[in-house]
Amino acid sequence: MRGGQHQVLLLMRELREAGHDSLLLARAGAPLWHAAGSEKFEVQQATWKNVWRHSDSVDLVHAHDANAHTAAAIACRRPFIVSRRVAFSVKRSVFSKWKYGRAARFIAVSRFVARNLAEAGVASSRVDVIYDAVEPVSSPPRWTPEAPAVALASTDPQKGRELIESAAQLTRGKVLFSDNLQEDLQRASMFVYITKSEGLGSAALLALSFGVPVIASRIGGLPEIIEDGVSGILVDNEPKAIAAAMDRLFLDTRFAKQLIEQGRLRIQSQFTLERLCKETIECYRRALGR
């Protein structure tokens, strides 16, 4: 599952622990469909018909992506809120204005995304900024500078793989492009997250929770995760800058360990499951006027 789907599952788990029932509408056969079903959540197919039918028997509907937002705007019979995770600007068409006007509230994954909503005319009084959460890692792996740098194995042109490949040619270390961050971060000297657009950066949060120092683009919501030089390194999207940051982590073990410690503290203070659940429930209550 990608970051957004994983956040849905984490939230559903926390809501269940807090005593709230959830019904998930998802694409049949998708990873989230199977993951939620394996944890005994009720799952139905995400169709407009099911939005219409099931929304009448719940207190609130939570739409987690653009397609869900459209379906809720058209077919929902209860108040609904929308999570917005993406960094690009909101469309200004007549339909988009109508759709955004239908939601009771919005959850922005970062202050950067909240500003995008404000620029589109969504009143700040209807927006809550609620950061993603990561599960605590009970036994973080032992960090070593001899391990490879890890980056996402993404074909998305927005994810900047070509910049990392160019930077790798200028640095002393090797880069592993990973399809399984949960596994590969356990033996990583650093996580290099270069992107041209980012609402927040759940992959960067995952790396910090594993005790892996992060180099990330100075873009979108990433500066809300990483304080440059304290809990990670922010760089411009330029190969020489990326390579210089990588070399510093390969060579300066003391600095890398400082980033690891501060990164863990950042996760523990701002990106916990408890905070995600508490603030989401508060948003739900505001949407319901309670």
**Domain spans in the chain, listed from the N-terminal domain onward:** 3-133+272-287, 149-270
Q: What is the pLDDT along the chain (290 residues), one digit of tens a residue?
A: 788 999 999 999 999 999 999 999 999 999 999 999 999 999 999 999 999 999 999 999 999 999 999 999 999 999 999 999 998 888 888 898 999 999 999 999 999 999 999 999 999 999 999 999 999 888 888 999 999 999 999 888 888 999 999 999 998 778 999 999 999 999 999 999 999 999 999 999 999 999 999 999 999 999 999 999 999 999 999 999 999 999 999 999 999 999 999 999 999 999 999 999 999 999 999 999 98
Q: Using one digit for the tens of pLDDT, what is the confidence trace for 120-141?
A: 999 999 999 999 999 988 888 8
Residue position matching structure tokens 């077919």? 75
User: Distance (Å, rounded) from C-alpha 73 to C-alpha 241?
Assistant: 44
Cβ within 8 Å of residue 239, ≥6 positions away: 163, 166, 167, 169, 170
The reply to whether 3-133+272-287 and 149-270 are identical in fold is: yes
**Residue 81 burial (CB < 10 Å; 0-12/13-18/19+)?**
buried
pLDDT of residue 107: 98
For residue 232, what are the CA distances in angstroms to 48, 172, 205, 228, 266? 43, 20, 11, 6, 10
User: Distance (Å, rounded) from C-alpha 245 to C-alpha 225?
Assistant: 17
pLDDT of residue 53: 96
Residue range 3-133+272-287, CATH number = 3.40.50.2000
Q: Is the pTM here over 0.85, yes or no?
A: yes
CATH 3.40.50.2000 is the classification of domain 149-270:
yes
Give the single-character DSSP code of 221: T
Nearest to 206 by CA among 142, 150, 130: 150
